[in-house]
Chain A
Amino acid sequence: MIKDLNNICNQKVFEKLFNIHAKDLRRFLFFKTQDMDTAEDILQDAFIKLWDNCNNVNPEKAKSFLFTVAKNMFFNYKKHEKVVMNHQKRTLKSSNYETPEYLLVEKEFLVKIEEAIAALPDKQKEVFLLSRMEKKKYKEIAEILGISVKAVEKRMHLALLEMKEKIGKV
């Protein structure tokens, strides 16, 4: 076992780096690929690569290593996808296959939502976060805050109105 706290080959260090960077990397990859599964796959591969190079990468450099590797993997993935798609276009005479529709969500839009949540009045924000982040039911929120379920629902309703205003305006 490696005890060195400055060496990524130490499993504790590696796990810590994963916990620090995985979410950001996943988010970054999602906006590139627009697909959660692909993002997750590349995320895994990038960390495996980090592990393979654990003796050569300084923990402080891990972040830029991960993002660079992930970016290259994404480009390779795109390139491969393109080749396969072209190949299929050539070999298939006709098909009535419908590509699964997906909603293209832009990064900017999510940032707007996050900003809109942050800008909510405190009472609404409190209810909103309990509901969306903590996954509490309206009834549970009412118990936690000592208000009626109706009041909780009203605040949620207002929060959504407020957010739409805010996001629509920007």
Chain B
Amino acid sequence: MRENLTKEEESFLAKWLDGTISDATLKELVSEQDFIDYKKIKNGLELLDELNRPVAPSFNTLYNSIHKKRNFKNTQASFKWGLSIAASILVVLGCYFAFNFEEITHETSYAEQKTISLPDGSEVVLNAKSAINFTEKDWRNNRTILLKGEAFFKVKKGSTFSVQTPNGLVTVLGTQFNIKDTDTFFEVVCYEGKVSVTNNKKEHVLSPGNAIRKIDGKDSEKHDKENSLPSWLNGESSFVSVPLKYVILELEKQYNIQIDAHRIDDSIIFTGSFSNKDLKLALVSVFKTMDIQYIKEKNGVLSLE
């Protein structure tokens, strides 16, 4: 310990701890080893602050993410409450659905996925920020769905099944396929059976492993072997030769973030994938490979350079 401390110096640790004096100044006042020790203590104290910070904001986030589920749970619990009431509700619901001519809409928000069973047992898995819309009336003979965004379809054999999107009409008999339709990006991938795609009054027939794509009005067909299922069903978004612009859009949808790309060329072609579960990993796997720097701004926007 230093012997000849002056009056001022006797409180230098207090001043350093509250930021009045800098690390550099402290380094001049104590030995190197002491400085490291104090720095470690300070880091530890800051970490303790972090760990002890209130959990209320965290609860708000949680509350929002389970808000939809809560409504669902409540209905479920009310079944327990009185079976008789539940039974009568079922009868009423049954009548309601039997005569239901109204449109049914399912929607997903950012970072959300939803599996929907259709009246005939066909299945639709909606990716984030997507919506489907259909009527239950005469479903067995007229299976038509409106789609915005991206979805994977597993269709039971039966009458013609059509998906209408702003960019084209997709018709099948019984098969598995994936459609992605955003404003200027349209892609259909066939995984099983045969899929017919009509856009610009042209008809394309896809066999398993084939895909058709339209970006900014330009058609292209590719025939490479795809996986047996779209990767986003397993929590990953994959891209094969897609302009970076659409990769960024997908990142924004999957994580509900904003990305500012005006400083980079977002038309460069990207091939690869990112995780839909871990933002940090996702950012590394997209931008690291493209040699792009990303910085989180104060307002939460991620800007690229």
Q: Which residues of A contact B (CB under 8 A)?
A: 1-2, 9, 11, 15, 18-19, 22-23, 26-27, 30, 36-38, 40-41, 43-44, 47-48, 51-52, 54-55, 77, 80-81, 84, 88, 91-92, 95, 97, 103, 105, 109-110, 113-114, 131-133, 137-138, 150, 152-157, 160-161, 163-164, 167-168
Contacts and interface: CB of A to CB of B under 8 A. Distances in A.
B106 interface: no
A160 B62 contact: no
B38 A160 contact: yes
B73 A9 contact: yes
Nearest to A127: B14
Nearest to A76: B277
Contact of B62 (A44, A109, A163): A44
A37 B58 contact: no
B216 to A, nearest CB: 28
B38 to A, nearest CB: 6
Contact of B41 (A2, A18, A160): A160
A30 B51 contact: yes
Nearest to B43: A103
B69 interface: yes
Contact of A109 (B34, B40, B70): B40
B74 A164 contact: no
A163 B41 contact: yes
Given A22-B59, A23-B52, A55-B77, A138 B18 contact: yes
Contact of B17 (A22, A27, A137, A156): A156
Main secondary structure of the interface of A (DSSP, over half): helix
A43 B76 CA distance: 25
Interface residues of B, number: 45
Contacts of A167: 37, 41
B66 A51 contact: yes
Contacts of A164: 34, 37-38, 41
Nearest to B287: A97
Nearest to B275: A84
A137 to B, nearest CB: 8
A157 B2 CA distance: 14
Nearest to A43: B58
Contacts of B13: 156-157, 160-161
B44 A113 contact: yes
A18 B52 CA distance: 14
Contact of A113 (B18, B41, B280, B285): B41
B288 A95 contact: yes
A44 B38 CA distance: 34
Nearest to B5: A157
A167 B58 CA distance: 32
27 contacts: A9-B74, A19-B59, A26-B55, A36-B50, A37-B280, A38-B280, A40-B58, A48-B62, A48-B65, A51-B69, A84-B285, A88-B288, A92-B288, A92-B289, A95-B288, A113-B44, A113-B48, A114-B48, A132-B49, A153-B14, A154-B14, A157-B12, A157-B14, A160-B17, A164-B37, A164-B38, A164-B41
B55 A2 contact: no
Given A22-B58, A22-B59, A132 B11 contact: no
A11 B69 CA distance: 12
B12 A54 contact: no
B91 interface: no
B60 to A, nearest CB: 11
> 8 smallest A-B Cβ distances: which pairs?
A156-B14, A153-B11, A22-B55, A153-B14, A160-B13, A157-B13, A157-B14, A157-B11
A131 B65 contact: no
